[in-house]
Structure 1
Amino acid sequence: MTLGKSRSAPAPGSATDVNSGATTFGVAIPFFDHQLGYDAITNFAVSAHDLGFDGLWLSDHLVVGPPPQHSRTWFDAPTLLAGLARVVPNMALGTDVLIAAYRHPVVVAKALATLDIVSGGRLVVGVGSGHSEEEYAVVGADFQNRGTVTDEFVQVWKQIWTPGPAVFRGRHITLDEPELLPQPIQRPHPPIWIGGDSRPAIRRAARYGDGWHPLALYPQAYAEGVAELRRQCERFGTELPTLSYSGFFGDIGARPVEETTRQPLTGGVQQVIDDIGRFDEIGVRNIVFRLGSAEHSNAQNLDQLALVAQEILPAVRA
């Protein structure tokens, strides 16, 4: 496979279309036990669409933490996003992020290609190696080698999504098929944004990714990650990928909160606007809000969504 300098082309109208230099803004679907009805999720997604958000993002888990938390419900990300695609036209649909190595790469490639087709080419594949040994144990997956397995998943997907024979021989995965269908709409493939902020994750983003999409970093840590990303891109002879950021789950309100305890993209409206300005200076071109908490009702989540759309987005898009 040629690594080269090329990156996957942006999906028209999606959160990856950053050629204009304008930052795009998405929102993650809240995933807490009492907020998981399909009707509530659909209502949240449609509200985000109608309020003018650019993308809809969905986390990926099998279980969360040790028992008794294993009973928590997590919908399958590609399946749910496919179900929402028709009710949120023109929004990018992203995984925030998909833990690839829980599954077989060919099965995931087919599911993601199907989602790209169903959505009309709006998929953004956020992918990471995960951190939960308990989740890997549920499916008997290889936790210790999850990083190199994830590297190979990304390479295999690119082979499968390229017309013609799908051939790959790696340390963990071997593939030799004449062709695997369906092919996604986006060419050469849906954008692949690498999650995580560890050195291996940053190296993966530089070598194989179309974007870097870490979660829950402070601006200084993000800037340090970008510096390392630039070094790795120079090493591999690749272009700097799209810079994206997914924030902390938390509250946004009219009043500011104490800075010493505040996390980015939470707190008062002006504090969040200032956070976005700091990430913009670093070069971030896509931001995902992660609103709410386990204490919020669905109505409170919708109130937070409206507050961001009415008080924050106009200020940062001006």
Structure 2
Amino acid sequence: MNIEKLTQGGFSIGVELPLDNDWSASGDANRKRDGRPFGVPDMQHHAELIKQADDLGFRAVWVRDVPLYDPDFGDAAQIFETFTYLGYLASHTQNILLGTAAVVLPLRNPWLVRKAAATVQTLSNQRLLLGVASGDRPSEYPVFGVDFHSRGERFRQAVEVLRGEQDNKLASGMRVLPDAPQPPLLVAGLAQQNPAWVGDNMQGWLAYPGAPEDHVKRVGLWRDVAGDKPYISFIHLDLVDNPDAPIRRHRFGVSTGVKGLIQELESMKAAGVDHIGLHFRRNQRPLDETFEQIGKSVLPLFHT
């Protein structure tokens, strides 16, 4: 149900958390004023902003899984633990899908991931999209007592648990509660697997950000192994005041006016992308103002 909702109308737009513009000039000044390390966002307005995104009709919200803040990587994502936070977001929203991009399976007990996912599914009225990954931060693995180089095998084993393929290990009468439909499994990258395995076992792909022309080839590779399963990516957006401002590309995204954003999203759709999550940490303007403009001028053009 929720994977069909994600792609309803052929293309949709969501938001990626944290809902803070701490990578902008003003946001960085606020960070330094507050004494926060680089990459640690200000989360004090997240509840109002996620309600606004839900009310405006953004299709999905995406949260990342960063178990440990590492200053060498310089990004704490949205700070809060993924599943706990999704439960909070579920209580503050009604319609927006709740996606993980993505849970690092080798660092988690897969049975507890399954229970956490079932809990979010139940409490959110089945709005969870379970993005999973093998992880890419070597510094985390020794802390968890996990071998970094075996993470691909641990990932496959965890997927088997999530899909119920290891339930024969449960004693008679044992089960994972709450009972809930299994959420769609989406993979970030290839998770140390071959493309054919990913296409067979995953219900969607969370692809690295890029320009529309970057996605054309990637979408083609995905279609070869996965057919019409959703292809999802992200744009780091700085939406400027001038609606006619041309597209200027920066790492992972664009700075542009509302007309340029529409053009970029049309190009993403033409490249075969099914969903774009907008990331606002570079955005210079206040996020509530930016959300309102996108909700009134952009979403109606793409969401049916």
CA deviations over 1:140-185 (Å, ceiling 9, x no partner): 222112223222222220016xxxx703xxxxxxx45544221553
Matched residue, 2:32: none
Task: Quote the residue 2:50 is aligned against.
Answer: 45
* Matching residue of 2:17: 29
User: Which amino acid in structure 1 is aligned with residue 48 of structure 2?
Assistant: N
Structure 2 runs not aligned, ≥5 long: 20-38
Deviation, 1:192, is 0.8
Match for 1:26: what amino acid?
G
Cα distance in 1 for residues equivalent to 2:130 and 2:194: 15
CA distance in 2, matches of 1:68, 1:17: 34
Provide the rounded CA distance (Å) in 1 between the counterparts of 2:248 and 2:78: 34
Q: Residues 79-133 of structure 1, C-alpha deviation per residue, up to 9 Å, x if partnerless?
A: 1111121220121111121112111111111111111011111110011122111
- Answer yes or no: is 1:104 the counterpart of 2:99: no
Q: Which of 198, 201, 221 is equivalent to 2:214? A: 221
> 244, 250, 270: which is aligned to 1:281?
270
The equivalent residue for 1:251 is 238
Separation in 1, partners of 2:69, 2:301: 36
- Counterpart contact for 2:62–2:98, Cα < 8 Å: yes
State the alpha-carbon separation in 2 of the partners of residues 177 and 278 from structure 1: 52
Distance in structure 2 (CA, Å) of the matches to 1:197 and 1:303: 36
Q: Report sequence identity in percent.
A: 22
What is the aligned counterpart of 1:182 among 177, 188, 195?
177
> For residue 147 of structure 1, what is the aligned residue in structure 2?
152
Does the Cα contact within 8 Å between 1:206 and 1:240 map onto a contact in 2?
A: no
- Structure-1 residue corresponding to 2:301: 315
User: What do residues 189-237 of structure 1 show as CA deviations (whole Å, max 9, x unaligned)?
Assistant: 211111126883744430211111213122222221222223334xxxx
Specify every segment of 5 or more residues in structure 1 that has no aligned partner in the other structure, as ranges: 1-9, 168-174, 234-238
Question: Relative to structure 1, is the Cα distance of residues 301 and 18 closer, same or farther in structure 2, using a 3 angstrom cutoff?
Answer: closer
Q: Distance in 1 between matches of 2:271 and 2:9?
A: 13
Change (3 A) 1:69 1:182: same
1:157 counterpart = 2:162: yes
Is residue 242 from structure 1 mapped to residue 243 from structure 2 by the alignment? no
Contact 1:155 1:208 in 2 (8 A): no
Worse-matched range after superposition: 45-54 or 117-126: 45-54
TM-score (structure 1 length as normaliser): 0.77
Structure 2 Cα separation of the partners of residues 276 and 195 of structure 1:
21
**CA spacing shift, 1:68–1:190, aligned 2, 3 Å:** closer
Q: 1:128 to 1:184 in 2, by over 3 A?
A: farther
Return the offset for 1:316. Answer: 3.1
Query: What TM-score do you get using the length of structure 2 for normalisation?
Result: 0.80
SS of residue paired to 2:298: helix
Contact 1:202–1:212 under 8 Å retained in 2: no
Partner of 1:232: 225
